[in-house]
Structure 1
């Protein structure tokens, strides 16, 4: 992908956001690509269609779970297309709000769907079976699912208000599924009504958040990275007063994150942007854009000819304009 970016970077119309990747983990980048290239160009259904080679970043059981969900949602849309105004399209799996924001297992989103107006979003979390240790925090799936809904609405709100991205976000709805449900989701989550919905008897809860009801969860460092991704994509930034108001609206703190068990607090391994090896140790981060990591100074230096095309910051761009 870096080689392609280098090849096209000299063209006057080149935009790094043109480099699409169906395995993209940054929700910020994918949302910008949805408005830039259309929703259906970002449909990831093909990654889970039979016969399929599983996504390389997912173990076989995780692949099967996501394929089950994608197939179920597609079947619901086909069955209800004459009665429903919503056509759910999967656009992401195993995602983080912006590259580097998922520092713990707790911070990853699992499946993200949206529809053609890009104003309604559906999150499906895929959870293991609860343990029998008696410690509820080890499987507080409700708290983690609600946290993901708040995180997504925080991101959508900031992108729309600070960067003039897309339509005004209407709502985000989130639920989860487990192996004992055969990874099926409650059909009650799928209709596109602009109000909270009641889950079926015995099903996991459904969290429905709007711009008026979400809890702000973005951190200062995450907002900085979001700004840098938007700058890479040459998005239009609002005026300073509007940006500051948007920041205040979505800014949270580390204390807002759910208090869960050790299994969800494991650090997330990172991949070196140059040698592409996944390392458990703390990697070096590009001090400028803060969006890529390296396992050594040698790798960082070797990768610079490719990375410099992408390495932009909103603060530098703003001061130069």
Structure 2
């Protein structure tokens, strides 16, 4: 059964309860993690313990992906330990190891971001994409999918954070780069929060420094609907229409990977009741747009637990 629905079915009657109160280290919804960072504190959302054991403890990642992400987490952790005093506002904490902007939003592999770190003020973010072998440097723009996809994910994350954090501390920047199987070392300039990278070394992955003033709007209407539903479940005030327009992008602006063929692969979905995997055609709850089911049988069986969560989303849709 979907964990949020299960929690709501048990604790939904308690005063002040909302379904985002339960922190899941393995959660892949970036909207939920951003909300939890400010609701409960960054360290409650820290995912580094996921990589303190072997890959068998992370069945949602391949062994190759597990070690690629662990390497990034270890590098940033070492930099933090050696250069930033404990408890300093600019300390880097990993909060996501793979993410989609909202539940059930990603349709293809290109829609997934990878590792995200935040400082303790949740106004600065590091985003690292983990890819396979390095691509050639022949000058063909279609052979630089890694660069395009990394910049795209940085713009999407800044669009999302701008929308979710429309009240509170003003965002500063999202800084993004990528690693490959033969280029694993992160530049110190990427991890240094006090300096803006002035450029990348020749032949090395680029560093993209995206600010709250220069990001490319990258969220789609269907994604914003899901995000609004999650904000409502957290009892958050929805952003004003003007901000919605500021972060709204188009399908045409999405990267179309040519060399990285994995980016075109469609994402499998999981039934929110029996947890079996299926394709993108799995029926989606028509009200909350956040969960999918194998069929009407699973949806009916899950309804009692899902109903309280879904009713909140329905009220957002009517508003």
**TM-score past 0.5 threshold:** yes
Tell me what 2:234 maps to: 233
Listed one character per residue, the Cα deviations across residues 3-51 of structure 1 (whole Å, up to 9, x for unaligned) are 4432211212211111211111110011001111100000001000146
Instruction: Name the SS for the 1:311 alignment partner.
Output: helix
Count the aligned residue pairs: 312
Q: TM-score, normalised by structure 2?
A: 0.91
CA distance in 2, matches of 1:73, 1:150: 21
**What pairs with 1:48-197 in structure 2 (closer than 5 Å)?**
48-50=51-53, 53-82=56-85, 86-130=90-134, 137=142, 139-161=144-166, 164=167, 166-181=168-183, 183-193=184-194, 195-197=196-198
User: What does 1:29-48 correspond to in 2, within 5 Å?
Assistant: 29-48=32-51
SS of 1:273's equivalent in the other structure is: coil
User: Structure 1 residues 151 and 194 mapped into 2: Cα distance closer, same or farther (>3 Å)?
Assistant: farther
What do the CA deviations read for 1:180-234 (whole angstroms, capped 9, x no partner)? 02x3322220111363443345321000111111110111111111000000111
- The equivalent residue for 1:256 is 253
Residue 266 of structure 1, CA deviation: 1.1
Gaps of at least 5 residues in structure 1 are none
Deviations 1:265-306 (A, max 9, x none): 111111111110111351100100100011101111111111
The farther-off stretch of 84-93 and 70-79 is 84-93
Please give the alpha-carbon distance, in whole angstroms, between the structure 2 residues aligned to 1:77 and 1:281: 40
Cα separation, 2, equivalents of 1:11 and 1:313: 16
SS at match of 1:175: strand
- Conserved 8 A contact 1:227-1:313: no
136-145 or 252-261, larger mean C-alpha shift = 136-145
TM-score (norm 1): 0.90
CA contact (8 A) 1:269 1:279 kept: yes
Distance, in Å, in 2 between the alignment partners of 1:160 and 1:4 is 25
* Residue aligned with 2:222, SS: helix
Structure 2 CA distance, aligned partners of 1:101 and 1:52? 26
Range moving further from structure 2, 63-72 or 305-314: 305-314
1:144 deviation in Å?
Answer: 0.3
8 Å Cα contact 2:190-2:197 kept in structure 1: no
